[in-house]
Amino acid sequence: MSYWNRSDGFTVSDDKARIELDVVHRFLETAYWCVGIPRRVVERSIAGSMAFGLYIDDRQIGFARVVTDGATFAYISDMFVLEEWRGRGLATWIVECIMNHPDLGGLRRWMLSTADAHGLYHKFGFAASDNPSRIMMRLDPDIYKKCSS
């Protein structure tokens, strides 16, 4: 497990045992990219990914997941900092911790999707695809309405 500490008391950790599922689910179930996501789906997503928690005084105030094969590819997902803690550079710091994680070095391709945080990710070399016609996806935006929580 990896930990990063800032001099102002904030910590980022990839220890899944520290993740406060209630905090993560409460945020994600109203996030624009996964409105209505059931708690059990959030739990499974954490189990199948690398999970990064952001903490102050052992209280979770942020989160991000990385879906990866650990060799060639990573996808950053579900990144957030609770509103009352924004404006302190914490989102930038979480991404910095992710990008410098010892298990994620040397990956050829990193991806993510965002509607409103382009400036954050540009700092780390992310850009719109130079050939978007190559990127395909299948999306069921109503999937969480179809399953019970």
Q: Say if 145 falls within a structural domain.
A: no
Q: Does residue 147 sit within a domain?
A: no
pLDDT at site 104: 96
pLDDT at 149: 47
Domain total in the chain = 1
Domain membership of residue 146 (yes or no) is: no
What is the rounded CA–CA span in Å between residue 63 and residue 46? 10
20 domain-assigned = yes
Q: What would the pLDDT profile of 84-125 be if each residue is shown by its tens digit?
A: 999 999 999 999 999 999 999 999 999 999 999 999 999 999
The mean predicted confidence, pLDDT, of the chain is 95
* CATH number (domain holding residue 22): 3.40.630.30
105 within some domain: yes
Which pLDDT score, from 0 to 100, does residue 146 have? 79
Domain assignment of residue 149, yes or no? no
Look at residue 16 and tell me if it is in a domain: yes
Burial letters for 39-75: b for 16+ Cβ neighbours within 10 Å, e otherwise?
A: eebbeebbeebbbbbbbbeeebbbbbbbebeeeeebe
Instruction: Give the range of the structural domain holding residue 64, as residue numbers without chain letter.
Output: 3-140
Across the range 14-29, mean pLDDT stands at 98
Give pLDDT tens digits for 47-78.
999 999 999 999 999 999 999 999 999 999 99
Q: How confident is the model at residue 148 (pLDDT cuts 50, 70, 90)?
A: low
Which pLDDT band holds residue 141 (cuts at 50, 70, 90)? confident
Which has more pLDDT, 141 or 73? 73
Q: What is the H or E stretch that residue 63 is in?
A: strand 59-68
